């Protein structure tokens, strides 16, 4: 496994692409887009294969193996969404879970030695996640999203400010409706990075979109 120093996590989460094959026209398009995103400069990738038309079983495993290889070859952090067994079987760098994905204490036990990220929609959720060992928080949805049918109400970049002013110091990414235009505001609010699906998966040129977003994020980080 690629080992990522924990001190690098803030940097490594700067531009976090989240996707599964169902976010793209086909499994082939997914692999092509992931490679373009990597070439454009994403720093982390979350394999989030879920919902209707998603791959299952052996196909899902094989896709995860290939996605991990693409990421590993380019020093991109490789995180698996929800599925501990898949994380273990492909030896991913970590796992990302939401609030309803099981008992966080148990999940933390089962992800020892791996990076654990948790989604939080409120300060209380973020505090609980950190106290149970989450190494980074995905805060959101920040803006309106059409990529997650069951997404909660958008909370705005204010949520990130609220987390930061209330002692949430762990690495943090904003997620939900983050476009090129909005990425800077998310960093200025106190996030270490932006997590996006459609800004890259639906882009005319995912490579250009990734490299532009990376530049905006790094600029905003330098300005802080
Ligand atoms: N969790 C909160 S919002 C969201 C997830 C997975 C979807 C983000 O997708 P997009 O297209 O960047 O709004
Ligand atoms: Mg989940």
Tell me if 203 is assigned to some domain.
yes
Predicted local distance difference test score (pLDDT) of residue 1: 44
Q: What is the mean pLDDT of residues 14-43?
A: 98
Tell me if 88 is assigned to some domain.
yes
Nearest atom in ligand 1 to 202's CA? 11
Residue nearest to atom 6 of ligand 1 (CA): 148
pLDDT in tens, 98-112: 999 999 999 999 999
> What are the catalytic residues?
48, 119, 148
Structural domain that includes position 33: 6-222
Answer yes or no: is 119 a known binding residue: yes
Tell me if 1 is assigned to some domain.
no
pLDDT in tens, 178-224: 999 999 999 999 999 999 999 999 999 999 999 999 999 999 999 97
Tell me if 90 is assigned to some domain.
yes
Predicted local distance difference test score (pLDDT) of residue 224: 73
Q: Which residues surround ligand 2, an ion (CB under 5 A)?
A: 82, 98, 101
Tell me if 93 is assigned to some domain.
yes
Confidence of residue 43 (pLDDT cuts 50, 70, 90): very high
Whole-structure pTM over 0.80, yes or no? Answer: yes
pLDDT in tens, 45-83: 999 999 989 999 999 999 999 999 999 999 999 999 999
| pLDDT at residue 3 is higher than 70 | no
Of the candidates 81, 127, 119, 124, which has an alpha carbon nearest to the alpha carbon of residue 99? 119
Tell me if 149 is assigned to some domain.
yes
Answer yes or no: is 158 a known binding residue: no
Answer yes or no: is 75 a known binding residue: no
Tell me if 15 is assigned to some domain.
yes
pLDDT in tens, 162-179: 999 999 999 999 999 999
Mean pLDDT of the chain: 96
> Which CATH number do you get for residue 98?
3.20.20.70
Nearest atom in ligand 1 to 48's CA? 6
Query: Percentage of residues in the chain with pLDDT exceeding 70?
Result: 97
Q: What is the mean pLDDT of residues 131-139?
A: 98
Distance 50 CA to ligand 2 centre (A): 9
Structural domains of the chain, count: 1
What is the distance of C-alpha 177 from the center of its chain? 13
Tell me if 202 is assigned to some domain.
yes
Predicted local distance difference test score (pLDDT) of residue 6: 52
């Amino acid at each position: 496994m690629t080992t990522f120093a924990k001190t690098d996590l803030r940097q490594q989460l700067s531009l976090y692409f989240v996707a599964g094959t169902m976010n793209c026209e086909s499994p082939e398009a997914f692999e092509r887009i992931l490679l373009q995103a990597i070439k454009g400069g994403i720093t982390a990738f979350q394999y989030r294969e879920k919902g209707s038309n998603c791959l299952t079983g052996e196909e899902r495993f094989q896709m995860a193996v290939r996605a991990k290889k693409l990421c590993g070859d380019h020093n991109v952090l490789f995180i698996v969404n929800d599925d501990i067994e898949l994380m273990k079987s492909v030896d991913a760098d970590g796992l990302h879970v939401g609030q309803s994905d099981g008992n966080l204490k148990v999940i933390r036990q089962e992800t020892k030695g791996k990076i654990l990220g948790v989604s939080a929609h409120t300060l209380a959720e973020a505090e609980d996640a950190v106290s149970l060992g989450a190494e980074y928080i995905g805060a959101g949805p920040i803006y309106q999203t059409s990529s997650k049918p069951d997404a909660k109400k958008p909370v705005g970049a204010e949520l990130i400010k609220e987390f930061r002013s209330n002692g949430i110091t762990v690495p943090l990414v904003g997620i939900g409706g983050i476009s090129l235009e909005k990425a800077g505001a998310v960093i200025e609010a106190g996030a270490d990075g932006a997590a996006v699906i459609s800004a890259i998966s639906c882009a005319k040129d995912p490579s250009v979109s990734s490299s532009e977003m990376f530049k905006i994020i790094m600029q905003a980080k330098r300005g802080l």
